[in-house]
Chain A
Amino acid sequence: MRNRITGIATGVALSAVAGFAVLANPASPAHAKTLVYCSEANPEGFNPALFTAGTTFDASSRQIYNRLVEFERGETTLIPALAESWETSEDGLTYTFKLRPGVKFHSTDNFTPTRDFNADDVIFTFDRQRLEDHPFFNVSGGSYEYFNGMGMGSLISSIEKVDDMTVRFQLSKPEAPFIANLAMDFASVLSAEYGDTMLAAGTPEKVDLDPVGTGPFQLVAFQRDAVIRYKANDDYFLGRAPIDDLVFAITPDPSVRFAKLQAGECQVMPFPNPADLDAMRADPNINLMEKEGLNVGYLAFNTQREPYTDTRVRQALTMAINKEAILDAVFQGAGVSAKNPIPPTIWSYNDAITDYDYDPDAAKALLAEAGFPDGFKTNVWAMPVQRPYNPNARRMAEIIQADWAEIGVEAEIVSFEWGEYLKRSKDGEHDTVLLGWTGDNGDPDNFLAVLLGCDAVGGSNRAQWCHQPFEDLIQAAKVTSDPSERTRLYEDAQVVFKQEAPWATIAHSRVFEPIRKEVKNYKIDPFGGHIFYGVDLEG
């Protein structure tokens, strides 16, 4: 009898397990040409002007919207988009854009456009972000971090509609990177007509929640933490996308993204786990794409603190770092040694500069000359998080610590929670700090002025370095519209930078993106975005 009970209990348990485990694969309905992208997180929203995360831009500006000018897919070159052409005045203060005719906004359940894109849409887009009395300024929380972060608020003094297809920007000062700024995500053009319609209906926030753009894809549905669906825009001004549907399957864990890619549940995935790269290379169904990242990882010396006020100390400590060891141990082949503060993919990169050689003896001699024959005590701040420009700051700090010990400099490794780390390093509480930068717009100004300019001291200039000869060069470049002259100024600035050594430049990382073999014509975006217009699926 005990056997009967045993039998029943075993039977129930086994059938339950079986019931869970053996569920037939459901039949699949017929489908169009659908590309599935395993994205890494939820977008914060669908109006790129309101947010700063790349994930949000992937889901909004890069599929749904267009800008006046854009970057060529996979490049940092600027090309006309919603603007067909533009002219700059002699004094560099006036930019006049000729707009592209016949561009249509998406039709959605909420809104059917009655007119094509025109100057009103451009004015609506920028006035919303810069004019506090604009009816949309405060809608959806109204903080425009990128617009303000790029200094656009104070830069644009007026925007004027010359005629329906011509718009004129008046700047408060000459700013050569202005055109590149307009290609950034926050400058995505929204429909003024949609704005008016929603305002009249009393639901202005819908403009940000249910996006209407001019882009190659139109949003169909968003289920938080699960999936975003888009369909190809039949009326796209550059021609309909080769795929019919685009789906973002939101999958936060990189190992799971890889499993989905292997199982064919998605065709493109971002941000692979470095440990999975070899398995990806070995997989016959996967094509592991790679490209140089538009970034730089650096160690900034706090130039307002002793002994880093002395250029010789900074140079000596730079010479003492064995960068090859860092590239091997930290980047594991996914990085190249950096000698300049801008990556080689940016124009004006000065390749003539020679880097400081790794030379502990020379470093020791230079330290002695600076008055520190026995070295000194200092600290190295290591970021608590993995960033594109530095996959393992802790390990990097340990190598630097060991290298400096060789020349008698005793370094303590310090770390804080990420938000705290950013804040304290901004305030200059460090001796030396590991950090980095990923470019926004492919303009050298976006590295050299943002990270090393005098205005950025106490902000994103972690070396707290304000050096007049360098500052003069980058300021001159900002107000020059002649590209060859700008190139020369930035090249010279890099020479000054290398001589003064406010940073030890460490590395530019490489970006990896595994895609399935059936995906054709996908290009890695140097800005770290994921763009699916032009991508096709075979078979």
Chain B
Amino acid sequence: MSAFIVRRLLLIIPTFIGVSLLAFTLIHLIPGDPIDLIAGERSVSDERRAALEIQFGLDKSLPEQYLVYMTNVLRGDLGQSIVTRTGVLGEFFARFPATIELSILAMLFAIVVGLPLGILAGVRRGSTVDHVTMGVALTGYSMPIFWWALLLIFLSSVTLGWTPVSGRISLLYFFDQVTGFMLIDALLSGQRGAFASALHHLVLPAIVLGTIPLAVIARMTRSAMIEVLSDDYIRTARAKGVSPFGVVGIHALRNALIPVVTVIGLQVGILLAGAILTETIFAWPGIGKWMVDSITRRDYPVIQGGILLIASTVILVNLTVDVLYGVINPRIRHAD
């Protein structure tokens, strides 16, 4: 097992180089540069442009820029944002907890709703429940996040007044961010109602962000259940008189979970991609919105650093999922 983990960790190095190279090349392929965008209609003089290029390190050739950049990255320096002049690493970690908090809640929502729905549809295959569940799942999967979010805001926040429109906590609460996780900070602040307000603000964004993973998990669970339920050992278990609850809940579910866990792991990437839209709509101060802003402003250090850090997160999560296989199913052991 440990050799497996070491091997997987080593694989991160070429992946990392690949991602950084790709990010670097693609960004520079987009036409336009930050200096033009800062100047706008005003335009800068040639001398001023030259001075700014030197300041931002854009005067060197692309391979040189890449080498300088990677050398700095290895030293733990991801550079400074061209727009705000603050460190990329600091900006990332100022926003990352918000994205993590939202993603965890969204995933929780997706699993807690998606898994039972999938089991239900799998067990009652072909029934009305199955058709309705899968129909809803397909709709959820195909729904544009942007539209879904605005629809929910209109219904729940504007018309019914149930949920706040956007933000992380009511503006009436004000306390220092200790961990960056609003739920935890709200508890630490000791202000009455702060935690409830933070949770309240998480409802809509978590539902929106969790919708696609929910649909995927429900569909995956259903098909895995169907497959497992037709296996011989299930028939044996039934023949032995194991209760249907025991058959489904203990024997079938555990095996059916393996592909589902894989899918849940893969959803992390989808969550981070979905976070870009969800965060923009709900004014959620996470990394998704930060990345979108930096792309429109051609803030190269932020885009590059952000992509590297997000890629690292996805790689680590996938590694964790691989390790988890063995825990869920003893039949899968990673040979040393």
Q: How far is the CA of A265 from the CA of B196 in the complex (A)?
A: 17
Across-interface contacts of A459 in B (CB, < 8 A): 43, 45
**For residue B109, which residue of chain A has the nearest CB?**
A20
Q: How many A-B residue pairs have CB under 8 A?
A: 206
Comparing B6-14, B67-75, B254-262, B281-289, the segment that makes contact with chain A is B281-289
- Choose among A9, A45, A256 the residue that contacts B166 (Cβ–Cβ < 8 A): A256
Given the contacts A23-B203, A250-B283, A255 and B150 also touching, CB distance less than 8 Å: yes
In contact, A422 and B40 (Cβ under 8 angstroms): yes
Give every chain B residue within 8 A of A21 (Cβ-Cβ). 156, 162, 203, 207
Task: Find chain B residues with CB under 8 A from A224 CB.
Answer: 91, 94-95, 285, 290
Is A376 on the interface with B (CB-CB < 8 A)? no
A-B contact pairs, 21 of them (CB 8 A): A1-B244, A4-B244, A8-B116, A10-B120, A13-B113, A13-B120, A20-B203, A22-B162, A26-B194, A224-B95, A224-B290, A229-B174, A249-B171, A250-B283, A252-B289, A256-B150, A256-B282, A260-B166, A263-B165, A265-B171, A420-B36
Other A-B pairs beyond A29-B172, A263-B157, 18, CB < 8 Å: A5-B248, A12-B112, A20-B109, A23-B200, A27-B196, A28-B170, A50-B85, A143-B51, A145-B38, A148-B48, A149-B42, A226-B168, A226-B283, A247-B171, A249-B166, A251-B283, A419-B298, A450-B42
A residues in contact with B94, CB < 8 Å: 224
Q: How long is the Cα–Cα vector from A10 to B154 in the complex, in angstroms?
A: 27
Comparing A36-44, A466-474, A481-489, the segment that makes contact with chain B is: A36-44
Q: Flag if A253 contacts B42 (CB, 8 Å).
A: no
Given the known interface contacts A28-B193, A44-B83, A226-B167, the answer about A16 and B113 at a Cβ–Cβ threshold of 8 Å is: yes
The answer to the question of B15 belonging to the interface, with a C-beta cut-off of 8 Å to chain A, is: no
The answer, among B32, B39, B168, for a CB contact under 8 Å with A417, is B32
**Residue in B closest to A389 when the chains form the complex, CB atoms:** B41
Residues of A within 8 A of B25 (CB): none
Q: Cβ of A436 < 8 Å from any Cβ of B?
A: yes
Contact flag A13-B36 (CB < 8 Å), given A23-B196, A247-B171: no
**Among A20, A44, A438, contact of B84 (Cβ-Cβ < 8 Å):** A44
Partner of A145, one of B44, B98, B150, B279: B44
| A29 close to B116 (CB less than 8 A) | no
By a CB distance below 8 angstroms, the chain B residues around A9 are: 116-117, 119-120, 123
Q: Does B240 sit at the interface, judged by CB under 8 A?
A: no
Could you tell me which residues of chain A, from 232 to 271, have a CB within 8 Å of some CB in chain B?
A: 247, 249-253, 255-256, 259-260, 262-263, 265
Contacts of B117 in A (CB 8 A): 9, 13
The complex places the Cα of A286 from the Cα of B41 at a distance, in Å, of 33
Q: Please report B residues at the A interface, Cβ cutoff 8 Å.
A: 30-34, 36-45, 48, 51-52, 55, 80, 83-85, 91, 94-95, 98, 109, 112-113, 116-117, 119-120, 123-124, 129, 150, 153-154, 156-158, 161-168, 170-174, 177, 191-194, 196-197, 199-200, 203, 206-207, 243-245, 248-249, 279-286, 289-290, 293, 298
- B49 CB to closest chain A CB, in angstroms? 10
CA distance A252 to B191 in the complex (A): 28
Chain A residues with a Cβ closer than 8 Å to the other chain, count? 72
Q: Do the beta carbons of B123 and A6 come within 8 Å of each other? A: yes
Question: Which of B44, B156, B171, B177 has the most chain A CB within a 10 Å cutoff?
Answer: B171
Interface 0/1 of A414-442, CB less than 8 Å to B: 00111110110010000000011110000
A17 touches B113 (CB 8 A): yes
Cβ-based interface call for A25 (8 A): yes
Whether the pair A256, B165 counts as a contact (CB closer than 8 A) is: yes
Report chain A residues within 8 Å CB of B282.
256
Q: How far is the CA of A139 from the CA of B52 in the complex (A)?
A: 15
With contacts A5-B123, A52-B40, A252-B283 known, is A28 near B166, CB below 8 A? no
Distance in angstroms between the alpha carbons of A227 and B169 in the assembled complex? 10
* Known A-B contacts A226-B283, A251-B166; A2 and B39 likewise in contact (beta carbons under 8 Å): no
Greatest chain B CB density within 10 A among A22, A419, A423, A459 is at A419
- Tell me the bound Cα distance from A25 to B34 in angstroms: 44
Please tell me if the beta carbons of A249 and B167 are within 8 angstroms of each other in the complex.
yes
Q: Nearest chain B CB to A451's CB is how many angstroms away? A: 9
Instruction: Tell me, in angstroms, the Cα distance from A136 to B116 when the chains sit together.
Output: 62
Q: Which of B113, B157, B173 contacts A29 (CB 8 A)?
A: B173
Are B165 and A419 neighbours in the complex by a CB distance under 8 Å?
A: no
Tell me, yes or no, whether A359 is within 8 Å of chain B by CB: no
Is A275's CB within 8 Å of the partner chain B?
Answer: no
| Distance of B150 from chain A, by nearest CB (Å) | 6
Residues of chain B contacted by A16 (CB below 8 angstroms): 109, 112-113, 116
What separation, in Å, do the CA atoms of A416 and B32 have in the docked complex? Answer: 9
A residues within 8 A CB of B171? 34, 36, 227, 247, 249, 265
Contacts of A145 in B (CB 8 A): 38-39, 42, 44
Q: Which residues of A contact B207 (CB under 8 A)?
A: 20-21
Q: Which residue of B lies closest to A427 (CB)?
A: B43
